[in-house]
A and B are shown apart, each in its own frame.
Chain A
Amino acid sequence: MFAGLSSVTWQQAAMYAIGLILIYLAIGRKYEPMLLLPIGFGAILANLPLSAVLSYGGERGFLAILYEAGIRTELFPLLIFVAVGAMIDFGPLFKNPLMIFFGAAAQLGIFATMILATFLGFGLKEAASIGIIGAADGPTSIYVAALFAPRYLAAISVAAYSYMSLVPIIQPPVIRLLTTRGERTIHMDYREGDVPPWLKIVFPIAVTMIAGFVAPISVPLIGSLMFGNLIRESGVLERLSLAAQNELANLVTLLLGITIGASMTAERFLDVKTLMILGMGLAAFVLDTAGGVLFAKLVNLFLPEGRKVNPMIGACGISAFPMSARVIQKMANDEERGNIILMHATGANVSGQLGSVVAGGMVLALVPLLAG
C-alpha cells in the first residue's frame, strides 16, 4: 500500500491537478465534456505510481495497447472523421457557394502559427503540428501530430479541444476589434434556392477525387470524412448513417479521449514547451478568426452595395463546427435583433471543415519535401 504512496513525485501530483482541472472544465463548465473528461481521467490514470494502465510486469497495459492500435496507426481520428462526415450537411454551402472561400482564408492561423513556432525554436515538423491546432479540428490535429510530433501529441490535442470549446470566448473580441458596428449589422438575404439531390451524392465523391489528385497524402483524412457524408446523403443507408453519427462517434470519442489522456505522463507534459504550445494554439485560433474576417472585408471591397457579406461570417471558416456558426449568429442578433445570418454562417462553417482537412493534407504533403 505504501509503495505506491511513497513513490508519488511532485510532477505526478501536478498531473493529478491538471487532470482534475480538465474534469472540472468538462463537468462544471461543460467545455467539450465528451473529450475533456476522458482526457482528464486518462491523465490521472497514467500518472498513478506504478500504474498498470501503461505497463505492468513487462507487458503493455490496456491504454498503451489502445495508443498503439488507435493513435499510432491513426485509426481513431480517421474513424471520428467518418462520424463527422455523417453529421455534416453541405446544403447551406450549396445555396451560397461563395462561402467556401472563407473556409480557406480562416486557415491563415495554421500557417502563421507554424512560422511563429519556428521562431521559438521548434523544428519544421513540430511547428507544423503546433500550427495545425488552428485547424480547430481535433482529428486533423491528432492525425498530423501523431505523424510529425508524437512527443507533443498530448499537449496539441488538449490545446485543440480546449480552444474549440472556448470559441465563444475567443472569437467575439477578435471580431469586434476588426469590424465596425455597421459591418456587424450587415444583412444577408437567404434565398431558398433549389439544390439538385444528385449534387449531394456527387459532391463527396468528387471532393475525395480532387483532394486525391492535389494532395494524395490527404486522402485518408478527406476520404474518411466524405465516406461518412456519402453514407448520410445516399438516402439508402440510414441505419449506417445513424450508427456513424451515434455509436461510432461515441465509442471512438470515448477511447480517443482516455488514450490521449494516458499519453499525458508527467515527464512528457510538464515541460515549458507544453506552455508554449498552449500559447501558440491560442494564437492560431485568434489568427484564424482574423484571417477569415479580414478576407470577408477584402471581398466586400469588390461586391456591390446590397450584396456585401457580413464580415463576421468570415470567422466561421475556422471550422469548429457547428459552434462557430452559432456564436456568429448570436453576435449578429446581439448587434441587431432579428438579423439572421445563420445559414450563411453554417455554409462558411462546413467550408471550414473542408478547409481544415485540406490544410492538414497540404502540411502533410509539403513538410516532408523540405524536412525529410
Chain B
Amino acid sequence: MQALIASAASAGTTVQALVVSLGGLAGVFATLFAFWLLITVSLRLSRGRPGSSAPSGTPPRP
C-alpha cells in the first residue's frame, strides 16, 4: 500500500487525480455499504422482536 502511494505521489497530476478518484469512489461506496448494512441489520433485528417497532414518526421536510 505504501509503495502504491509512493509510486502515485511521484506520478503526474492527472494520474494522481485518477488514483484519488478510484480510491475515493471505492471509499464512498464502501462507507455507504457499511451504512446500508447498519440499516438492514437494524431493521431485521427489529422485525425479529415482535412489538418492538413503531411506525416512523416525522414526515419528510417539505
- Point out the residue from B20, B28, B33, B53 that lies within 8 Å of A195, measured CB to CB: B53
| CB interface residues, A 211-242, toward B, < 8 Å | 211, 214-215
Q: Is the interface of A mostly helix, strand, loop or mixed?
A: helix
Contact of A194 with B by CB under 8 A: yes
Closest chain A CB from B60 CB (angstroms): 5
- Known: A115-B18, A196-B46; 10 extra A-B contacts, CB below 8 A, are A89-B58, A107-B24, A110-B24, A112-B21, A119-B14, A193-B43, A195-B46, A203-B38, A351-B32, A358-B32
Asked if B56 and A95 sit within 8 Å, CB to CB, the answer is: yes
Asked if B42 and A92 sit within 8 Å, CB to CB, the answer is: no
Q: CA–CA, A346 to B59, complex, Å?
A: 11
- Point out the residue from B14, B18, B39, B52 that lies within 8 Å of A97, measured CB to CB: B39
Closest chain B CB from A176 CB (angstroms): 25
Asked if B56 and A101 sit within 8 Å, CB to CB, the answer is: no
Asked if B17 and A369 sit within 8 Å, CB to CB, the answer is: no
| Chain A: CB-nearest residue to B14 | A118
Mask: chain B, 4-46; 1 = CB below 8 Å from A; 0 = not: 0100110001101111110111011111111110111011001
Residues of B within 8 A of A115 (CB): 14, 17-18, 21
Residues of A within 8 A of B29 (CB): 101, 104
Residues of B within 8 A of A343 (CB): 60
Given contacts A370-B5, A370-B20, contact A196 B13 (CB under 8 A): no
Closest chain B CB from A202 CB (angstroms): 7
Q: CA–CA, A346 to B25, complex, Å?
A: 22
| CB interface residues, A 84-125, toward B, < 8 Å | 87-89, 91-95, 97-98, 100-101, 103-104, 107-108, 110-112, 114-115, 117-119, 122-124
| Chain A: CB-nearest residue to B62 | A322
Given contacts A104-B29, A111-B25, A358-B28, contact A366 B60 (CB under 8 A): no
